[in-house]
Amino acid sequence: MKLIVQKFGGSSVANTERINNVARIITDTYREGNRVVAVVSAQGDTTDDLIAKAAEINPKPSKREMDVLLSTGEQISMALLAMAIERLGFPVISLTGWQAGFLSNSNHGDARIKRIDRERVENELAKRNIVIVAGFQGLNKYDDITTLGRGGSDTSAVALAASLGADICQIYTDVDGIYTADPRIVPNAKKLEEITYDEMLELASLGANVLHNRSVEMAKKYSIHLEVLSSLEKKPGTRVREAIKMEKMLIKGVARDNDVARISLLELPNTPGIAFKIFSCLAAKHINVDIILQSVSSANTKDISFTVSKANKDLAVEALEEIKSSVGASEIRCADNISKVSIVGAGMVANPGVAAMMFEALSEANINIEMISTSEIKISVIIDEADSARAVNVIHSKFIGD
């Protein structure tokens, strides 16, 4: 008898018809003789709606109360799905994240799972119940509700699969697999049969939100068989695994991230210690910095530019204003109408000229590159947000074709 963890995202449980559809997927799996744990997200746009509702009441609510509010979305889904399964005549029980033993740290809004006490879920499985678990939520050591960050239900599912020793973790969503680019941006993106953990981790971290990046990290760590597939059409999806068949693809995918802001400090003295002061000041405020660019100008001064998430922009500027005169910057500038577009693929290490090909695609489309960053398996550029969908398309057709 296999143990299967299935996760259903917001669009898969968006309305009554979809919930009944998910109930059928789960009960079919159960009927085939498997033990089933299903992790659910909030219905449709519920989480966004709750965030908007909170902003009406208080533009700066505490993170603790935000988590109390946001966790309710998943609780609605789990109960409705359990009711749909009851109606089909199968034994079922729904559990909140805390009933299912999810213990997290106290970083409200972006908490990390520390441990799962799996006893309750195991007891329910031993009773032959189908177990429905609310994704995205946990409990910290003070018994306060936490949430795992946007898209975090994927991570709930993978963590549960790891903790229970499941045979497979299936992520059901509104696309039928992982594509070479977001099919909403690139209509002729190609579906991948398989992808490695490392490539998917890069893609997810660089904006391909089909999987929460931490879920991929965890799947790799615990060697979880992960599959992304459609809840609406019955066909094979994409498998994420350690090593895959050799194939000729130079790159695996193109990703876009619009959650980027750039901050520049201008005309800094060209002396040692300046970068240290700037970035230790940001680190002290727990601000994550992504791409960094330093340029030397003719007057023996340098400019330093870097990117942060949009949410951290104001905090970063505030912190830097305080040290502006001590580091000798003439001006602090920022922009948030920018995007990061990236290509990912393990094949690029062995193939020189990949970067040139990417820049050629952008140059042919007359798209200006503002910053560049590379690693062994990815190349990212910062460009104007208005050009980003076009950039993803031209890069995609250069490497993968139309």
The residues of the shown chain that bind ligand ASP, judged by CB under 6 A, are: 9-10, 41-42, 47, 73, 135-136, 150-153
Considering only the stretches 3-11, 126-134, 359-367, 377-385, report the one whose residues sit in contact with ligand ADP under the rule CB under 6 A: 3-11
CB-count exposure of residue 109 (10 Å: 0-12, 13-18, 19+):
middle
Smallest distance, ligand ADP to C-beta of residue 177, A: 7
Considering only the stretches 101-109, 181-189, 278-286, 377-385, report the one whose residues sit in contact with ligand ADP under the rule CB under 6 A: 181-189
Q: Are 206 and 378 within 8 A, CB to CB?
A: yes
Judged by beta carbon, residue 139 or residue 265, the one nearer ligand ASP is 139
Judged by beta carbon, residue 104 or residue 305, the one nearer ligand ASP is 104
Q: For Mg ion, what does the binding mask look like between residues 300 and 329, x meaning CB under 5 A?
A: ------------------------------
Q: For residues 42-66, b (16+ Cβ closer than 10 Å) or e, as one string?
A: bbbebbeebeeebeeeeeeeeebeb
Q: Which does 44 bind (CB under 5 to 8 A by kind): Mg ion, ligand ADP, ligand ASP, none?
A: none
Q: For Mg ion, what does the binding mask look like between residues 106 and 145, x meaning CB under 5 A?
A: ----------------------------------------
Element (H, E) at 134: strand 130-134
Judged by beta carbon, residue 152 or residue 177, the one nearer ligand ASP is 152
Q: Say how many C-beta atoms besides its own lie within 10 A of residue 2's C-beta.
A: 12
When asked if residue 152 is in the footprint of Mg ion (CB under 5 A), the reply is: no
Q: Which does 42 bind (CB under 5 to 8 A by kind): ligand ADP, ligand ASP, Mg ion, none?
A: ligand ASP
C-alpha gyration radius of the chain: 23
DSSP 8-state class, residue 124: H
Phi, psi of 332 (to 5 degrees): -115, 125
When asked if residue 151 is in the footprint of ligand ADP (CB under 6 A), the reply is: yes
> Out of 82, 210, 224, 251, which residue is the one contacting ligand ADP (CB under 6 A)?
210
When asked if residue 151 is in the footprint of Mg ion (CB under 5 A), the reply is: yes
When asked if residue 179 is in the footprint of ligand ADP (CB under 6 A), the reply is: yes
Judged by beta carbon, residue 220 or residue 396, the one nearer ligand ADP is 396
Report how far residue 58's alpha carbon sits from residue 97's, in angstroms, rounded to the nearest whole number: 26
DSSP string, 169-235: EEEEESSSS-BSS-TTT-TT--B-SEEEHHHHHHHHHTT-TTS-HHHHHHHHHTT--EEEEESSS-S
Binding site for Mg ion (CB under 5 A): 9, 151
